[in-house]
Amino acid sequence: MTTRVAVVPLGVLLGLLLLVVTAGQVAVVYEGWAELSSGATVDLARPGWAMLAVALLGLLCVQVVIVCTGKLLSMVARDSIFTDDALPWVDAIVRAIVAGWVLLLCAAVPVYVVAQLDDAPGLAALHLVLVLVGAAVGLLMVVMRALLRQATTLRADMDAVI
């Protein structure tokens, strides 16, 4: 019963978060396309298109993480999280985080070009923070995956003993 108290609100929050990220993706496309097509300076146009593509793909990675987390949450509700069926979902989360981190690394040059041309040092600092947070979250998920694998093995061993 205690798990259900946390699972239901978390599921609702994940659903709302997915809607917000999807709306953000639509807004990024609309605003970015309009701004870059309407006459951005030539110096900012190329890095701007690259940053738009990275933003869209990055939000797609976030959506993958949310959907996979929702699937894992449903497994928690059914008390089947400590099975081998959970590992592909965790692997998908790790892959999405790694893909997002690689996208952030690829965006370094356009971000720093725009930061220099637009005199926006905060943009470069924000990018650096995002790269560091992405690395930390990715490594944390690798550790969590290892813990899930150990717990799954222990649960299988306990089920075999009983």
Domain boundaries, the chain: 2-161
Residue 39 confidence (pLDDT)? 62
Residue 156 confidence (pLDDT)? 86
Amino acid at 78: R
Residue 116 confidence (pLDDT)? 79
Return d(Cα 110, Cα 124) in angstroms, integer: 10
Residue 146 confidence (pLDDT)? 95
- List helix spans (H) across 107-120: 108-117
Residue 111 confidence (pLDDT)? 81
Q: Which two tokens stand for residue 5?
A: 């108290």
Residue 46 confidence (pLDDT)? 64
Question: For the chain, which ranges sit under pLDDT 50?
Answer: none
Residue 67 confidence (pLDDT)? 97
Distances 123 to 40, 49, 58, 107, 111 between C-alpha atoms, Å: 18, 16, 16, 12, 7
